[in-house]
Amino acid sequence: MSRHTNTVHVGSRGNLPDAAAQAAAGRALAMAADAKAGQVVLVLISGGGSALLPLPALPLTLEDKIATIKIMTAAG
């Protein structure tokens, strides 16, 4: 069994998702998948969840998500 107690994974350092944020999202998903019945998984996301914890479903890519965010931001 993998231990993830008191682990901090820093995601994107800007307003757009990046590879570090995608890796952190993958680790958060793995922690949830590793949880046993009765265990609590607590994930704290402070502002900008789409940038901090991006994990696009296939066939979408991180680049697709970034492009979509840029279009939406430009549209106001």
CB proximity list for 47: less than 8 A, separation 6 or greater: none
Residue 63 has pLDDT above 90, yes or no: yes
Tell whether 43 is covered by a domain.
yes
How many domains does the chain contain in total?
A: 1
Tell whether 7 is covered by a domain.
no
Tell whether 12 is covered by a domain.
no
Residues spanned by the domain of 55: 19-74
Q: What is the pLDDT of residue 4?
A: 53
Exposure pattern of 27-60 as b/e (b: 16+ CB <10 Å)? ebeebeeeeeeeeeeeeeeeebebbbbbbbeeee
Tell whether 9 is covered by a domain.
no
In the 8-state DSSP scheme, what is residue 56? P
**pLDDT tens string 2-60:** 555 666 666 676 678 998 889 888 888 888 899 999 988 887 777 777 788 899 999 99
Tokens of 20: 């570090």
Tell whether 11 is covered by a domain.
no
**pLDDT tens string 28-43:** 888 889 999 998 888 7
